[in-house]
Structure 1
Amino acid sequence: MVTDEEGRPPRYVDKFLAEDVFLDDEYDEAGEDDEDGEYDEDDEAGEERDEPPPRPPSGPQTSVAPRTHPCWSCAADVPSGTSACPECQESVRHLRLISTRPPVHLRHGSCGPLNLGRHPSWAAPAVAAALDGERGVSRRHASIEMAPDGGLWLTEHPAGTMNGTFVNGERVPPGDRVPVADGDTVRLGTYCAFTVLVVEEPPA
């Protein structure tokens, strides 16, 4: 009978029944004891434990200044996303009326109608001066306005005009309020024509 050095029979351990039992030979293969006699799991894995990532330094966050654009009416800074200028209260959305005969470039917001004609106290001063002496344009000809809901409307003066008011070639009856769209042509009489443009907020 085979015995160990002390005369005892060898131990037999079923590895399938005792998975957590380490034999001397398996222990030596898996790893060696440290100098203090403790088993180091890092030696078995062959790697050091991962350190947690460092936290970002805490400090005051830098704020980004809001984007602005100049007001078309008073040139004050208007924050993007607002519907009206904080200084003059004019709406950001507005009209441009451009005419090559006579050479007129008008801007108008939502603060009431813009009167078009030759009368110096009825029409806007710049319009009355530009249309003064223009053939076919009445002293009180027509009005164009931007409604609070964003709609555009043109109305010929209730008293009527000598040579008529036209939107894209269609005559407007006196006193009638007709819709106008971006890019339409408004003609006063025979020769004076405006192109209507709608200007939204400038792109950010």
Structure 2
Amino acid sequence: MEILLETERLVLRRFTTADADVLAALHGDPAVMRYIDDGRPVPRAVVVGETLPAILRGYRDLPPGQGRFAAVERATGRFAGWFALGPAGTPGLRGGTELGYRLRPALWGRGLASEVARAVVDSAFADPATERVVATTMAVNAASRRVMERAGLVYVRTFFEPWPDPIEGAEHGDVEYALTRARWAGRDTGQATAPGADLPAG
């Protein structure tokens, strides 16, 4: 098992083909997918035939430490969800290293997403090439926005992208959060700038 990092309660490791069932269950959960893509659960055939193979290819094609990694509970060994780092690919983002995450709803509200997101952000900046970590969600997704804030990212802007099949809340747009290397490095020295001061204008 190749481990990316460990936190107090979760371990991040590479996905394998043996994770097909738990990944399909995660992406097939309506609550998980409510604010993602078209807001609909992803069919198992798509997860097994497209999503998981793409994740596995990422370990070959992306720089070390980037990709999508399975999150596993330290106490039980159960699959919890996933966290991701990689070149910004969400429509509307303007470069940077993108943070992503999904957790099983049974684990929501325990601070797990924030705990691991902070560690993933730190791991991103361990690479000297990383200058900016970014993340995005629908403006109405308050829970995801809190995770971004607790991971140290700050609000940059609200933007509107044309979605082929808009879902409820899309009229409020999407939000971009970001953390620059300078601000990240200043967190422990008291030199952090005012929120958003070192970020590009929206």
Shorter-chain TM-score: which interval? under 0.3
What TM-score results when the alignment is normalised by the length of structure 1? Answer: 0.24
Q: Structure 1 or 2: larger helix share?
A: 2
What TM-score results when the alignment is normalised by the length of structure 2? Answer: 0.24
Q: Choose 1 or 2 for highest CA Rg.
A: 1
> More relative contact order in 1 or in 2 (CA 8 Å, sep 6+)?
2
